[in-house]
Amino acid sequence: MSINADTNTDLYDECTADDTERNETTPLLANGAQTRTKGASFASSVFNLMNAIMGSGILGLAYAMASTGIVGFCILLVVVSSLAAYSIHLLLKLCDKTGINSYEDLGGRALKKPGKVLVGITIVIQNIGAMSSYLFILKSELPAAINSFLSSHGTGDAWYQDGRLLLIIVTLCIVLPLSMSPKIGFLGYTSSIAFFFMLYFAVVVVVKKWAIPCPLPHNTTTPPDTLQSSNYSECTPKLFVISSKSAYAIPTMAFSFLCHTAILPIYCELDRPTKKRMQNVTNVSIGLSFVFYLISALFGYLTFYAHVDSELLLSYDAYLRHDIMVMTVRLAILLSVLLTVPLIQFPARKAVILLLRRDQSFSWLTHIAVTLMILAIVLLMAIFVPDIRHVFGVVGSTTSSCLLFVFPGIFYLKISGQPLKTFDSIGALVLLVFGLMMGITSLSVIVITLTQSS
């Protein structure tokens, strides 16, 4: 399949294809007559997609494993990652069939204007929730990171120990300038850095498994090697666990593999953007993310067992406060999360603009205004959210399940025109049913749990 190199793509353009040429080319046409420059490389697209996939989710998966058991977690991780890759396959097929590169416009094609509005609102809520979770990590981890480098701890009144103030400063100085980029391909450079930070995180979690004794010392002021506990059953890994906390596991995984809002923009900026080439980008990205997720969750769980925190790095504070590797990995994760926020902000801004404006020509005024509005909302949510697992649970069971499973299934069944007995139609139906069951069940249990605890 060859690509016409003289065509152009834009952030808000649709990928249109002539039916008479569909078997030979997938032209990416734009409103203007500018020549399409060379697109993002395969490696850059993989880094961007991995950065969209991986983020705060990697910090919550050890807690998910503690809530489901090792075997239960592995089964769920395989199922969710496989369905995520398959739903992307359906979206790419629809993009090639219809010439549409916008998730929102696919909703419009399948369900008319209400579908477009519904998808746009879902994307905005999902990405705001994702960015809020990332900034929540910055709020909780930045003071801890600074304190870990200080020889003595103050009373907590110093400005650099105020997570909210640090969050505002970082957002204005780093997140905001990067978020102003009008091209998602540009973020491939920062995404490649974030990838190596995540790799370093996985290595440190593995190494530190043997630095913290089990049973965990209950008196953290005493050196760990001098403490003993009779409750050695705490050190026995559980293969299967079913409890109210298990309801957070699948939404956290769905949250951790959701990259669908970034798929089509990355597809249209990919150099030589064929479906097969973009599917390879997807498979590599999800495969690598799967490995990182499994390693970090497994060794994080085998370090703290049932005592693992909903945000993994916080679990190390009591036992390895001034450990060099933990200190540096905390900084690495902070930088990685920091570099992910602008990438996640991109589809949220695009969705808002598509909902607000009929004229989709690029406008710097609209671009800047929407960016500032989204970041302001995200910043306020990050400041006032009490626990990151609430974000994972509620957002993961609602908007994440819709974008990951429900919408791709509905869109394919409505747009493809294929008989229900075909393989992809059956797969789309499975996605739809699984997404609805997962979302309703998990959200119900989470709401009941939060109500009872309050």
> Would you state the pLDDT for residue 38?
59
Most trustworthy range by pLDDT among 38-42, 199-203, 388-392: 199-203
> Which residue in 36, 64, 33 sits closest to 255, CA to CA?
64
**Banded pLDDT at 78 (limits 50, 70, 90):** very high
CATH number of 37-99+114-242+253-386: 1.20.1740.10
Residue 13 near residue 31, CB atoms below 8 Å: yes
> Would you state the pLDDT for residue 33?
32
> Would you state the pLDDT for residue 153?
52
**Banded pLDDT at 433 (limits 50, 70, 90):** very high
State which H helix or E strand residue 182 sits in: none
How much is the mean pLDDT over the chain? 77
**Rounded to 5°, angle at Cα 385 from 53 and 285:** 5
Report the alpha-carbon distance of residue 225 to residue 348 in Å, rounded: 49
- Tell me what the mean pLDDT of segment 174-186 comes to: 77
State which H helix or E strand residue 136 sits in: helix 103-148
Report the alpha-carbon distance of residue 326 to residue 323 in Å, rounded: 5
Q: Is the pLDDT of residue 345 over 90?
A: no
Kindly write down the DSSP assignment for every residue of 251-298, as one continuous string: HHHHHHH--HHHHHHHHHHBSS--HHHHHHHHHHHHHHHHHHHHHHHH
Q: Is the pLDDT of residue 377 over 60?
A: yes
Cα separation values, 275 from 118, 222, 450, Å: 26, 58, 43
> Would you state the pLDDT for residue 420?
86
Residue 176 near residue 373, CB atoms below 8 Å: no
Q: How many CB atoms lie within 10 A of CB 223?
A: 10
Based on its alpha-carbon atoms, the radius of gyration of the chain, rounded to whole angstroms, reads 22
> Would you state the pLDDT for residue 15?
42
Out of 183-192, 218-227, 325-334, which region has the weakest mean confidence (pLDDT)?
A: 218-227
3-state secondary structure of 15: coil
Percent of the chain with pLDDT over 70: 79
151 compared with 95, residue with greater pLDDT: 95
Q: Is the pLDDT of residue 219 over 60?
A: no
Domain boundaries, the chain: 37-99+114-242+253-386
> Would you state the pLDDT for residue 341?
83
Most trustworthy range by pLDDT among 204-213, 300-309, 423-432: 423-432
